[in-house]
Amino acid sequence: MGKRPLEQLAADNQLVAYRHTGFWQPMDTLRDRNLLEEMWAAGKAKWKVWSDQPSNSQGHELYATQPPLLIK
């Protein structure tokens, strides 16, 4: 694959990037998985952005999300 496909996408103005400013942690190894599971079990899961409580009269859960920021 190399550089050529990316260079061509950039030249064609078809390459975009997303600037993520929130929590990020890979889960590539057993150590990573254990760390994430420990954070979840301790109630310190930084990626959990939703509420467990229904927030409208119909009892549906509403989730807090951030719209993506696309950078060209």
Structural domain boundaries in the chain: 4-52+61-71
Low-confidence ranges of the chain (pLDDT < 70): 1-3, 54-72
pTM of the predicted structure, to 2 decimals: 0.51
Mean pLDDT score of the chain, rounded to an integer?
Answer: 79
pLDDT > 70: what percent of the chain? 69
Cα–Cα separations (whole angstroms), residue 15 to 5, 32, 46: 10, 30, 29
Cα(45)–Cα(35) distance, rounded to whole angstroms? 10
Q: Give the pLDDT confidence score for residue 34 in this predicted structure.
A: 94
